[in-house]
Structure 1
Amino acid sequence: MDLSIMIPELLKALPLTLAITFTAMVAGFLLALIATTFRVRRIPVLSQLADLYVSYARSVPVVLQLFVAFYGLPLVVALFEVEDFVSPNVAAMVGLSLYHGGYLSEVLRPAYLAVERGQHDAADSLGYTFLQKILRVVGPQAVHIALPGYGNSIIYLIHNVALVMYIGAADVMATAHLVMERDYNQYQFETYLVLAVIYSLLCLVAWIVVRFFETRNAKFTPNTAPAKATMMASV
């Protein structure tokens, strides 16, 4: 196979892969913040629902979560009496956002709890609201603890984006399979090797960005939490 033909075809599908990844990163982060807030504050009913959501996201295989989103979203949309067609791309974004949010909540929650109790008490004594305490006192320290685990979660998300081909999303992996079928599966090794390079580069870029923020954050945030908290955050 001529790589000068195959690689451009795969790169044409790269924007969709990046769009799904970025959407899941942002939406998943927001879901994780909401779920973590409910869990650490132990808000009745909401905390139990958040625990159930996190358990679902972490226990159910990602490919199964994608199928649930793909077949479940049209049912939800139909309740509002609007067009019930949900594209595979939208289902992929929703499914991966839910997965990433639940996984990331298990990174943020230990990071929040690892901040010394005295920091919480000091913020409370100053009359800070919960939001003020997060933004001014606890949040910066929790971010310092959570960054390694957050970096891992991004890497896992990039890996799992490759599964969206099973619900019909035309990402890089799906395009590669179409290329191989067109060429009667004669160049499987070469195609998968190119895919490996693409995903490795995506993960490398993500690691460099997270590492940059780790280094930058370390300059301004004192490491007040115990070392074992960092291990908890990266699990």
Structure 2
Amino acid sequence: MTSPVTPDRTRPPVVPVRHYGQWITVAIVVALLAKVIYEIAANSVIRWEVVVSRFGAEAILQGLGVTVVLTIVSMVLGVVLGVGIAVMRISRNRLLSAFAFGFVWLFRGTPLLVQVLVWFNLSLFLPTIDLGFTVFQTNTIPPFAAAILALALNEAAYMAEIVRGGILSVDRGQAEAAGALGMTPGQTMARIVLPQAMRSILPPTGNELVTLLKETSLVSVIGAGDMLYRAQQIGATDFTRMEMLIIAACWYLVLTTVASVLQLWIERRFDKDRAPSAWLARMLPLRARKEATR
């Protein structure tokens, strides 16, 4: 009969490590931040009362709505076009693959500001578009439509590379197994490859959304009515340009924060839905029903 195991009383007690260096670093950072804030409040010539009083001005809120609409519409179109371009890029059809490569090369390789100006001044390059049954005059493109075209096509080029990277991260054996089960290439892509690629696609897509939200400010050069354009208009009337730019910057911070929180929620929700526990929770009731019918 073996004797019971006695605890080892010779082991020294665990002493918590005190990270004094971290606390010293935090104190230094807080002191420097307080110093910067004090210097700005004491010596700056910015009229902060103007910033506070105009933060919720009607014109700013109207521009805010235009910025949100530009972001959502451009992002949706960019994602849809990006998925199509990514599928074309990895296609075995050389013509489709070459077209997709050229699309990404052109719209990702040129500055977005230049693309905005080109679409707004499209009549300089292509005065009319003749489709056989109708003719479009390009000199009538409104600033909002030009902004959507520039932002959506530019976003599609980046999303195409993001989606292509996500697709390539999925093991080829998954597609081969789906083909062995009789699935078509389209069904394999929609039901097998893309759902698994979402883990690699979602994080950079969220970053692209935040980037696109800030890039909408570039359309102010064509008078698209976005928030930065409205802020500059107000600031030009009474020489409060910097105060209005601060208001616009604060609103951009609010929007990007909301977009970041939304991105985090979608990623956690997707991981939860793809987790084994969620899969078992869906399968167990189905299995119970099958056992009951036997």
TM-score when scaled to structure 1?
Answer: 0.87
Higher relative CO (Cα under 8 Å, sequence separation at least 6) belongs to 1
Distance 1:29 1:77, change over 3 A: farther
Q: Does 1:217 align with 2:289?
A: no
Q: Does 1:71 align with 2:126?
A: no
Q: Write the deviation string for residues 48-77 of structure 1: whole angstroms up to 9, x where unpaired.
A: 111111111211111011112112268657
In the alignment, which residue of structure 2 is the partner of 1:207? 260
Give unmatched runs, 5+ long, in structure 1: 224-235
- Percentage identity across paired residues of the two chains: 30
Q: Write the deviation string for residues 58-112 of structure 1: whole angstroms up to 9, x where unpaired.
A: 1111101111211226865722323440001100000000000001111100100
Deviation at 1:162, TM superposition (A): 0.4
Cα distance between partner residues in 2 of 1:150 and 1:82: 34
8 Å Cα contact 2:63-2:225 kept in structure 1: yes
Give unmatched runs, 5+ long, in structure 2: 1-49, 277-294
Cα distance between partner residues in 2 of 1:69 and 1:102: 16
RMSD: 2.0
SS of alignment partner, residue 94 of structure 2? coil
In the alignment, which residue of structure 1 is the partner of 2:5? none
8 Å Cα contact 2:166-2:200 kept in structure 1: yes
What one-letter code is carried by the residue in structure 2 that aligns with 1:101? A
TM-score when scaled to structure 2?
Answer: 0.70
Match of 1:82 among 128, 131, 136: 136
Q: Write the deviation string for residues 16-37 of structure 1: whole angstroms up to 9, x where unpaired.
A: 1111111111111111011011
Q: Following superposition of structure 1 onto structure 2, how do residues 216-235 of structure 1 map, counting pairs within 5 Å? A: 216-221=269-274
In the alignment, which residue of structure 2 is the partner of 1:37? 87
Distance 1:176 1:56, change over 3 A: same
> Which structure has the bigger radius of gyration?
2
What one-letter code is carried by the residue in structure 1 that aligns with 2:113? V
8 Å Cα contact 1:140-1:221 kept in structure 2: no
Cα distance between partner residues in 2 of 1:26 and 1:59: 21
In the alignment, which residue of structure 2 is the partner of 1:62? 112
8 Å Cα contact 1:38-1:50 kept in structure 2: yes
In the alignment, which residue of structure 1 is the partner of 2:71? 21
Q: How many residues of Structure 1 are paired with residues of Structure 2 in the alignment? A: 221
8 Å Cα contact 1:141-1:221 kept in structure 2: no
Which structure's residues are more often helix, by fraction?
A: 1
In the alignment, which residue of structure 2 is the partner of 1:108? 163
Q: Does 1:179 align with 2:234?
A: yes
Match of 1:139 among 194, 198, 222: 194
SS of alignment partner, residue 79 of structure 1? strand
Q: Write the deviation string for residues 100-142 of structure 1: whole angstroms up to 9, x where unpaired.
A: 0001111100100000121111111111112211222111110
